[in-house]
Every structure is written in structure tokens, then in C-alpha cells.
């Protein structure tokens, strides 16, 4: 009885391959075409789109990343600092702990806003009227309200009535010559959501980044990845500060004392 060779595993990746003297990333030599030649944002854009960005695309993409790197002592930053307190040997574990909270309340709303904006822009075409955009926004908001869900990309607990990060990004897209439909639509969604709820719900930074995702022709299904890329940098920064000026022990002790105060004899 002869041994039958095992069939080759039928998988494929076109991202990268290497040999003894070179590494090739999407057809580009890492050492001669990328290292020292492109910045990190351009390299990230290449991996997300399989092409290098134009000058305008690179500026908008990098601006979107920069806008989301840091926002103070957020729940994500606290999770990172507290995890590092318990496992100081695992910087990557502490960063991962913070990233796990990038969901439908924090940062992850990029995905939801990018999804409805991509669909809305495709439906509206290149030159919709004001009435067309307003009607599309009303439908989008109505759909979320019928499902009992918050509309992604609008509203902020601190930045009201305007999120300055969002305005800078939306204005930058226009200054760089990108089409205006995505910006018009997200602003109309903000207005429709505010009218339906009776309170100010400005376009927030994740809504503006959702518009950038559409302008840059990124797949909305990886839009949350922009938040992951950006906030990873911020969380490493928090660990740098935690090592120099620790606060995690204070956060733990004060929280524990407050939570158990009613049990004190």
C-alpha cells in the first residue's frame, strides 16, 4: 500500500511573501520601495486598498487617523491602564484590553456611519438636490429609530453643539476637492436626528470619519479598523504616561472605596 500525498492546502494571500534577501508587500519591495519612502498612514492605506494613495487621499486618510488617536481618560484608556497594573509584563495585553471596548458607543461607530453613508451616497448619485439629501437622511434616521438604535456618527456628550474634529475633517475633504455628497448627507442625518430627538446631535468625529471612508473608497466593513489603528497609538501613549506618572492604583483604590462605602462599619 503506497502513501498518498496530502493535498496542498487551497488558500491564497497576495499581501506579502519573502525569501532570504527580500520582502515583497503587494508587489512592492519593502526595503527599496517602502522603508524610508512612505509614512505609516500611506502604508496602512496601501494595505487597506491595495494601492498607494494620491496626495489628497494621503492627507485625508492621515487626518482621519490623527483625529481619533487621543481623547483623554476614556473607558478604553482606563481599561489599558488597569490591565497594565495587573499584568505589567504584557504591554500588548494592556493595549488589547483597551481596543476590545471599541464598539457601538466608542470609536466603533465609524463602521455604522460608513455603512449608511456608503449606501446613501450610492443611491443619491453625484449631484443630488437638497431635498433628495434631506429625504435620504430622514429615511436613515427613521430606520434607526424604528429599531430602537442610536444613529451612529451623531451626538457627543462633551462636544456640543459642534464637534470641532468633525468639522475640520469634513471641511478638509471639500478643500482637497473630494465630492461633497457624503459630507452633505452626514450633516443632514445630524439635522434629522436632532429634529426627531428634540436635542442637538452634531456630526461627531466618527461620523466625519465615516464620510472619509466613503470619499477614500474604503470598504465600510473594515472602517472600524481605522479606529483600531489610531487608538492603538493613543493607548501606547497612555502606557508611556502610566509608567512615568501612574494613576491605575489610585483609580482602583478610590473606586473600590467608593463602591464599598455603604458596607463600612
Final residue in a domain of this structure, among 189, 206, 222: 222
Pick the closest to residue 113 from 196, 211, 180 (CA basis). 211
Query: Which candidate, 169, 187, 154, 155, places its Cα nearest to that of 67?
Result: 169
Alpha-carbon Rg for the chain, nearest whole angstrom, is 22
Q: Kindly state whether residues 114 and 218 are assigned to the same domain.
A: yes
Domain count, the chain: 2
Q: What pLDDT, on the 0 to 100 scale, is given for residue 46?
A: 97
Judge whether 23 and 29 are in contact, CB under 8 Å: yes
Whether residues 37 and 130 fall in one domain:
no
Phi and psi angles of residue 227, each rounded to the nearest 5 degrees, phi first: -65, -40
What is the C-alpha separation between 209 and 42, in angstroms, rounded?
17
| Domain-located, residue 7 | no
| C-beta of residue 116 within 8 angstroms of C-beta of residue 211 | no
* Domain shared by 32 and 126, yes or no: no
The residue behind cell 508611556 is 240
Q: What is the pLDDT of residue 103?
A: 85
In a domain, 28, yes or no: yes
Q: Which residue in this structure is represented by grid cell 436613515?
A: 140
pLDDT at 2: 63
- pLDDT at res. 1: 55
| pLDDT averaged over 10-residue windows placed end to end, the chain, 265 residues | 74 94 96 96 97 97 96 95 97 97 87 97 95 97 95 90 94 97 98 94 96 97 96 98 97 94 85
Is there a single domain that holds both residue 35 and residue 126? no
Can you give the residue range of the structural domain that contains 43? 16-52
**Span 39-48, pLDDT tens digits:** 999 999 999 9
In total, the chain counts a number of residues equal to 265
Asked if residue 139 belongs to a domain, the reply is: yes
Residue 116 belongs to domain with CATH number: 1.10.230.10
Classify the C-alpha dihedral 61-179-187-48 as positive or negative. negative
**Four-CA torsion 40, 41, 44, 49, nearest 10 degrees:** -150
Verify that 113 and 218 share a domain, yes or no: yes
pLDDT at 16: 96
Nearest to 143 by CA among 155, 151, 153: 151
In a domain, 78, yes or no: no
- Residue at which a domain ends, from 6, 32, 52: 52
**Is there a domain that residue 258 lies in?**
no
What confidence score (pLDDT) does residue 132 get? 97
Could you tell me if residue 99 is inside a domain?
A: no
Residue 260 lies in a domain: no
pLDDT recorded at residue 108: 83
Rounded to two decimals, what is the model's pTM? 0.92
Domain co-membership, 116 together with 214: yes
83 in a structural domain: no
Q: What are phi and psi of 249, to 5 degrees?
A: -65, -40
Amino acid at each position: 500500500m503506497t502513501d498518498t500525498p496530502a493535498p496542498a492546502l487551497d488558500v491564497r494571500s497576495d499581501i506579502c511573501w519573502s525569501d532570504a534577501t527580500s520582502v515583497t508587500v503587494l508587489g512592492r519591495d519593502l526595503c527599496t520601495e517602502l522603508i524610508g519612502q512612505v509614512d505609516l498612514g500611506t502604508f496602512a492605506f496601501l494595505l487597506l486598498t491595495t494601492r498607494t494613495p494620491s496626495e489628497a487621499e494621503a492627507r485625508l486618510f492621515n487626518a482621519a487617523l490623527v483625529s481619533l488617536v487621543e481623547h483623554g481618560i476614556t473607558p478604553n484608556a482606563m481599561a489599558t491602564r488597569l490591565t497594565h497594573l495587573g499584568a505589567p509584563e504584557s504591554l500588548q495585553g494592556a493595549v488589547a484590553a483597551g481596543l476590545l471596548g471599541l464598539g457601538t458607543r466608542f470609536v466603533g461607530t465609524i463602521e455604522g456611519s460608513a455603512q449608511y453613508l456608503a449606501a446613501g451616497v450610492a443611491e443619491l448619485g453625484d449631484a443630488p438636490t437638497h431635498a433628495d439629501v434631506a429625504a435620504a437622511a430622514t429615511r436613515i434616521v427613521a430606520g434607526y429609530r424604528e429599531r430602537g438604535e442610536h444613529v451612529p456618527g451623531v451626538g457627543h456628550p462633551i462636544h456640543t453643539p459642534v464637534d470641532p474634529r468633525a468639522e475640520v475633517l469634513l471641511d478638509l475633504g471639500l478643500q482637497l476637492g473630494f465630492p461633497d455628497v457624503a459630507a452633505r448627507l452626514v450633516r443632514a442625518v445630524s439635522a434629522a436626528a436632532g429634529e426627531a430627538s428634540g436635542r442637538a446631535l452634531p456630526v461627531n468625529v466618527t461620523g466625519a470619519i465615516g464620510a472619509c471612508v466613503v470619499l477614500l473608497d474604503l470598504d465600510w466593513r473594515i472602517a472600524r479598523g481605522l479606529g483600531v489603528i489610531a487608538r492603538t497609538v493613543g493607548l501606547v501613549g497612555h502606557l508611556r504616561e502610566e509608567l512615568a506618572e501612574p494613576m491605575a492604583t489610585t483609580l482602583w483604590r478610590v473606586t473600590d472605596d467608593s463602591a464599598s462605602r455603604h458596607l463600612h462599619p
